[in-house]
Amino acid sequence: LRRGLCRRVGRSATSAALAILAVLSAACGPTSQEVVVPEPTSATVSLSAAPTATVQPLLQGPTPTFGSRLVPLTASGALPSLSDLVDKVKPAVASIAVEALTRGIFFEFTDEGAGSGIVVRSDGYIVTNNHVVANVDQIKVTLPSGKTYDARVIGRDALTDLAVIKVEDEGLATVTFGNSNDIRVGDWVLALGNAVSLKGGPTVTLGIVSARGRTATTELGTLYDMIQTDAAINAGNSGGPLVNLAGEVIGINTAMLRQA
């Protein structure tokens, strides 16, 4: 398992996402690259890098404050189960499978890939990373409900590594966006996504915000103003949400530091 980096998002990001969705829906034209932007002001990414150990909360003493959220401890002084939080977010986390046709001199080859996405509008709009859906011929989206859809690209932005895709359905569960400007180093976060394409719904990992404002150079270019987290992120997590303890999306899992 690897720790990772996530793109920051905010309430402004939420507006950005909805604004982008509206603009992209009208234009239906690709623009650029990876980052989840659900409202019109900010977008952020979080990076995850090396293997993480088993998390054993050992907090003792008074109830701690995490950002603006108050999290009660159990009688033993440990953090409570996060299962209710996961149940709140998970229905809106999509698994994305893509195929791209590569034409050789004598043969054609099909390349397959996988990523994650988050449902931002109940009528089927899903935000993911641009690098998940760039230059592909087929996109399949599977939701935790078990439903599978063909998806089409509404718009892409290479600079922010953001893309919006669309499936045809109504009444889908959606995520709630928080504000990544409010997070502090040391805040607890959860990463959800289609890690290593495991069947049966999204994988959930727990960690903290390790740093803010990171710059990382990848094969896709340089990513700026990233959130670093030690929540384990693996191939397939790209495009999935990084959430706070209120169940609000505050980042988009984007890249991992394999050598860390």
Question: What is the set of active-site residues?
Answer: 131, 161, 238
The answer to whether residues 230 and 210 touch, using CB atoms and an 8 Å cutoff, is: yes
- Beta bridge mates, 33: 157
How do beta strands 45-49 and 93-103 pair? unpaired
Tokens read off for 219? 């094969």
Tokens read off for 203? 């994988």
Using the Cα atoms of residue 29, residue 35, residue 36 and residue 37 in order, give the sign of their dihedral: negative
Q: How far apart are CA 31 and CA 128, in angstroms?
A: 14
What would the 3-class secondary structure string for 149-206 be?
A: EECEEEEEECCCCEEEEECCCCCCCCCEECCHHHCCCCCEEEEEECHHHCCCCCEEEE
Within 10 angstroms of residue 252's Cβ, the number of other Cβ atoms is 37
How do beta strands 203-218 and 188-193 pair? antiparallel
How do beta strands 221-233 and 45-49 pair? parallel
